[in-house]
Amino acid sequence: MSLHNNKDIQIEIDHIQLDSSAPQYSIQIDGEGNIKYNGIKNVKTKGIEQYKIPKEKVQEILDGLEEIYFFSLRDNYSSKKEPKEKVIVSARLYDRFKKIECEADSNTPYSLLMLIKKIEEITNISKLIENNN
């Protein structure tokens, strides 16, 4: 999938705290490479930060979505245990929208977990969430 109308692209990852020690934050990425981070709790940087990544990096994220057949995955991966964290990944690409909820210790596909990690590496989010408490 290639970038042709960047306004119709939005990817979001929300880390929701279900335990008092887990970081809680969200990142939004649009087709122009604009990043909006919102640090909520247990993160180094609280509040909203905005920055930009190159469009080539956005294309890498889109390629990753396509490689794992993101739009064909289930909508929910629940844990049988009491989860410490929930991650919600959503993507709007032109006329398609998908939202996937993943709980820690669930049967979330490895490919989806690796895509989340890749997106967070591409967006260099660790500089904002790593808390040295």
Burial class, 13, CB count within 10 angstroms (exposed 0-12 / middle 13-18 / buried 19+): buried
Cβ(27)–Cβ(36) below 8 Å: yes
Please tell me the predicted confidence (pLDDT) of residue 22.
82
In this structure, is residue 96 part of a structural domain?
A: yes
Please tell me the predicted confidence (pLDDT) of residue 5.
58
Strands 9-17 and 24-30: antiparallel
CATH number of the domain that 14 lies in? 3.30.1560.10
In this structure, is residue 45 part of a structural domain?
A: yes
In this structure, is residue 132 part of a structural domain?
A: no
Q: Across the chain, what does the average pLDDT equal?
A: 90
| Count of structural domains, the chain | 1
In this structure, is residue 1 part of a structural domain?
A: no
Strand arrangement of the beta sheet that strand 34-41 belongs to? 47-52, 34-41, 24-30, 9-17, 85-93, 96-103, 76-77
pTM of the model: 0.88
In this structure, is residue 55 part of a structural domain?
A: yes
In this structure, is residue 56 part of a structural domain?
A: yes
Residue-range definition of the domain harbouring residue 34 = 6-127
Amino acid at position 5, single letter: N
